[in-house]
Amino acid sequence: MQLTVWTYEGPPHVGAMRVATALTDVHYVLHAPQGDTYADLLFTMIERRGARPPVTYTTFQARDLGGDTAELFKTSVQEACERFRPAAVLVGASCTAELIQDDPGGLARALGLGIPVIPLELPAYQRKENWGASETFYHLVRALAGPSAPPPGTPRPARPADRRPRCNLLGPTALGFRHRDDVVEVTRLLATMGVDVSVVAPLGASAADVARLGEADFNVVLYPETGRQAATWLARSFGQPMVDIVPIGVGATRDFIAAVAAAAGVDPAPALAAETARSPWYARSVDSTYLTGKRVFVFGDATHAVAAARVARDELGFTVVGLGTYQREFAREVRTAAALYGLEALITDDYLEVEESIAGLHPELVLGTQMERHIAKRLGVPCAVISAPVHVQDFPARYSPQMGFEGANVLFDSWVHPLMMGLEEHLLGMFRDDPEFADGAAPSHLASVAPIAAAPVEPILAPAATASVVAAVAPVAVAHPASPAAPVPATGPDWTAEAERELRKIPFFVRGKARRNTEIFARDKGCASITVETLYDAKAHFGR
Amino acid sequence: MTAQPLLAPRSACDLPVLRQRGQREVFCGLTGIVWLHRKMRDAFFLVVGSRTCAHLLQSAAGVMIFAEPRFATAVIDERDLAGLADLHDELDRVVGRLIDRRPDIRTLFLVGSCPSEVIKLDLAKAAARLSLGFGNRPRVLSYSGSGIETTFTEGEDACLAALVPDLPAEGRDAEASLLVVGTLADVVEDQFRRLFADLGIGRVAFLPGRHREDLPAVGPATRMLLAQPYLAETARRLEDRGARRLAAPFPLGAEGTTDWLWAAATAFGVPAERFETVTRPARQRARAAVARHRAALENRRIFFFPDSQLEIPLARMLSCELGMIPVEVGTPYLHRAHLDPDLSRLSPDLVLSEGQDVEAQLDRCRAAKPDLVVCGLGLANPLEAEGFTTKWSIETVFTPIQGYEQAGDLAELFARPLDRRNRLEV
Ligand code: SF4
């Protein structure tokens, strides 16, 4: 039993929903109680989809448990298929139905629906969302593409010389972090290489598209979390090579181009020459000097975290001080990557542990999920979001890929922006005694840098509903504007007024660290109070 | 202007009910934790359930991070499912850790979920054992918020019902007191307190209160006024303790609030003139605030999907005070006894539906082509995409809407989506 307050991932059937919703003509019948229908709002409210997810829930109740929940399940499948006329149906159980063991697969098959029935066994008490998505996609591909697989051992025929090479893009799902735009960007990139995209799946694919996955010359796995398992099976069954370099960042995109060129048998030079990223030049531009050695903490799903660390160090000149993931399934990959930076990877799905780690490392920038954004906000550290779990803000109206050369530009902008805002605040702070500038003006990019005790409330959906939750029931401490000085801890030496004033001249995003270091230093040295002198002694002592 | 109800009530029993059995598109009772934990400042809600339950709370709350929210989920895993004895030890361990970290907690609710109920984990027994072990600091109670037992707001009912046995007993000869039952926003609670005080009703308590020590005494001298329409079990248990329920419509809108207050005033022998003097200013303010939205809402047809059980009182307020025309009013459950005063003010032409078969109801909604659809978050955007104008029902639970000073805000909640649709030119 694990005490959980906030979760990075939903249950595995939500992963299955992400696959079903991504497809155009596949329905999912889920044996589940009514409360589980909350998952619809992830798609309709967070992703703002204009259609309900293609999911029917049996919504059995306690009174059904004594009776015939199996019959209820069969009726639900029958009615859903009559109403929605899907090309294939996924059937499965949520956590509760798993306990009552009705065998959704067997029941649905017995109905003789005349369409493929794909049973999903997603153990809800062991596994989580991304695993569920991967497993669902894999079973779907096996069921639909399997019948056209050649006998084992058949060598793959060579591509006819008069046909351009073509590949599938595997892994993008509904509710994915920028999947929508990544698909467009990677498709464009492949086009510059003369490579066609045969099928994108599951996002936007029909059952018939999935059935013809074997036609492509090779597979590109954009998101290993959801696509690699299926791609591995396709490699085995159809002899399709797989490219699973994730093209996030300029360096990784160049590697990706090379790998695709090898798999497709084309020349990588034109695509490399056509590189459209501005970010490498921007990073070299003298105004970026201040980015040098910025301490960054990186946390997210494995794919995005590993990619972000590489970009942070090699393409922005940051120093990676922490790297981790909430995906235990990918711990090995993240540990390997962390070793490159001389770090021990943080593998946990407990956000309190992540918070502790961030607080201890005093990074100057956090690259994380929405969870880390909240943590960073509380700690007064700038943050950019790089990975799911998603938030309504992660579906911007504008084109905003993470992958390819345009993706690299997006990363540059979205990571440097919070730091730039911090710098502006610093300038504002330097002039704080000038009456033109309001003292204690809140950093414009941080709704709050209030201390943990007065943490802000943050909407995941729309501010209206949330603000009203708070207004409605309790006038709790909400999002105070930044107070210019952090609170003085109850213990330890006192700050003299003059030292306190001096501290305020330090940019707010390192002020907390300066305060802590000075206090540690003062305590160690047994100072009775902290003077300006102590502050600078500490600075010299901890100076990097 | 009189203080008596303006519309002559008739019996509600003649309204036919369309009973629906099919897919329900409604949250489970765990959702109530989102507002209950804000209201009860020293209570903690520990759901014993699955990752799904934790994810529901996180998603439905619409809120990602409080530094230390006063709720959490003890997620059952496969090791726990191996043997029940283990499960109780695990629960003790989790609760022990929690209490160490949160010594300020005075009431700990163990909240049952579908998984905990299907495996027959006896949380009542666990709560009794833990409470004893802690010497009632904190007091540990249990209730079910599971989706197989409770629908959305029924979770609050189950929670408050669990509190009833803890209320101190009051003797038969005690002076009459008023107990307002159902979570209200603090600001609303305070407004009602002032009104009751001005009316001369001295002994007034609210359940739930903000702190454990606010738990009111209950006995035969208790007169209870329900502030929310979904409290069947809580009311029953309070009646078992001797309390008597005052029948009234729910305090939504200027007239609903007046009738609700009047029910208390009558029970406590408040003279009509005093009632008039005390309530007139706020009532007039409320009427004026509501009237501002009349033009936008009058004669507009409204369709309610079942969600919070507030649908019937809302339909009454919107039809009686704003001239809207309810086409279908869906409710997850129909508790006639408590809703009779609201039901009897509804037009007999509407469809009153109980339970849900969401696909069939969507078909009815499309056929009816209402001007405004009140529905849950899963349906709102898809209906907007089909060209309907919608209002999320969850906002009527999360927003202060009761009482005179909120009557205008309540009307505005329904006027805004229509206003928005008018403004947009894209
Ligand atoms: S319906 Fe049951 S399993 Fe689903 S979230 Fe609610 S309590 Fe948990």
- B29-150: which CATH architecture? 3-Layer(aba) Sandwich (3.40)
Is the CB–ligand 1 distance for residue B53 below 6 Å?
yes
Distance (Å) from CA B410 to ligand 1 centroid:
30
Please indicate whether the domains covering B17-23+290-424 and B177-274 agree at the CATH topology level.
yes
Q: Considering CB atoms only, which of A39, A51, A469 is closest to B63?
A: A469
Q: What are phi and psi of A40, to 5 degrees?
A: -55, -35
Instruction: Kindly report the pTM of this predicted structure.
Output: 0.89
Model confidence pLDDT, tens digit, residues B336-367: 999 999 999 999 989 999 999 999 999 999 99
Q: What is the pLDDT of residue B426?
A: 83
Is A458 in Cβ contact with B400 (below 8 Å)? no
Tell whether B53 is in a known binding site: yes
Interval B41-80: pLDDT, tens: 999 999 999 999 999 998 887 654 455 689 999 999 998 8
What integer pLDDT is reported at residue A466 of this predicted model?
36
Domains of chain A: 12-127 (3.40.50.1980), 148-153+160-273 (3.40.50.1980), 279-428 (3.40.50.1980), 494-542 (1.10.8.550)
Supply the pLDDT for residue B66. Answer: 54
* Nearest CB partner across the interface for B23, out of A3, A57, A65: A57
Confidence band, pLDDT 50/70/90 cuts, at residue B171: confident
Q: A-B interface: how many C-beta pairs under 8 angstroms?
A: 247
Residue A454's closest CA among A477, A425, A470, A474? A477
> Which one of A64, A255, A287, A349 is the catalytic residue?
A287
- For residue B85, the model assigns a pLDDT of 63
> B385 touching A, CB under 8 A?
yes
Sorted by where each begins, the domain ranges of chain B are: 17-23+290-424, 29-150, 177-274
CA-based nearest residue to A540, from A525, A518, A519: A518
- Asked if the C-beta of B310 comes within 8 angstroms of chain A's C-beta atoms, the answer is no
Predicted confidence at residue A468, as pLDDT, reads: 34
Exposed/middle/buried for B352, CB within 10 Å: 0-12, 13-18, 19+? Answer: buried
- Structurally, what CATH architecture does the domain formed by B177-274 represent? 3-Layer(aba) Sandwich (3.40)
Please indicate whether residue A433 is annotated as part of the active site. no
Domain B17-23+290-424 bears CATH identifier 3.40.50.300? no
| Confidence (pLDDT) at B69 | 82
Cα-to-centroid distance, A95 and ligand 1 (Å): 9
Tell whether B63 is within 8 A of chain A (Cβ).
yes
Substitution target in A94, A95, A369 with the highest count of B β-carbons within 10 Å is A95
What is the maximum alpha-carbon separation in chain A?
Answer: 83
- Among A residues 318-357, those touching chain B with beta carbons less than 8 Å apart: 351
Contact A214, A31 (CB under 8 A): no
Asked if residues A505 and A484 have their Cβ atoms less than 8 Å apart, the reply is no
Tell whether A10 lies on the interface with B, counting CB pairs under 8 A.
yes
Q: Which residue of B has its CA nearest to A55?
A: B23
Cβ–Cβ contact A27 with B under 8 A: no
Identify all chain A residues contacting B185, using CB atoms and an 8 Å cutoff. 471-473
Q: Which residue in chain B is spatially nearest to A82 when comparing CA positions? A: B359
Rounded CA separation B422/A387 (Å)? 37
Q: Is B114 annotated as a binding residue?
A: yes
**What value does the mean pLDDT of chain B take?**
93
% pLDDT > 90, chain B: 87
Q: For residues B339 and B344, what is the distance between their CA atoms, to the nearest angstrom?
A: 8
Question: Which of B38, B56, B400 is the closest to A38 by Cβ?
Answer: B56
Interface predicted TM-score of the whole assembly (ipTM), two decimals: 0.93
* pLDDT digit string (tens) for chain A, length 544 residues: 989 888 999 999 999 999 999 999 999 999 999 999 999 999 999 999 999 999 999 999 998 987 789 999 999 999 999 999 999 999 999 999 999 999 999 999 999 999 999 999 999 999 999 999 999 999 999 999 999 999 988 889 899 989 999 999 999 999 999 999 999 999 999 999 999 999 999 999 999 999 999 999 999 999 999 999 999 999 999 999 999 999 999 999 999 999 999 999 999 999 999 888 999 999 999 989 989 999 999 999 999 999 999 999 999 999 999 999 999 999 999 999 999 999 999 999 998 899 999 999 999 999 999 999 989 988 889 999 999 998 888 999 999 999 999 999 999 999 999 888 766 665 655 555 555 544 444 444 444 433 333 333 333 343 333 333 333 333 333 333 333 333 444 467 889 999 998 888 777 667 777 888 888 889 888 888 999 889 888 888 876 4
Complete DSSP assignment for A487-515? PPPSSSPEEPHHHHHHHHTS-HHHHHHHH
Q: Compute the radius of gyration of chain A from its Cα atoms.
A: 26
Question: From the CB of residue A431, how many other CB atoms can be counted at a distance below 10 Å?
Answer: 10
Q: Could you tell me if the CB of A232 is within 6 A of ligand 1?
A: no
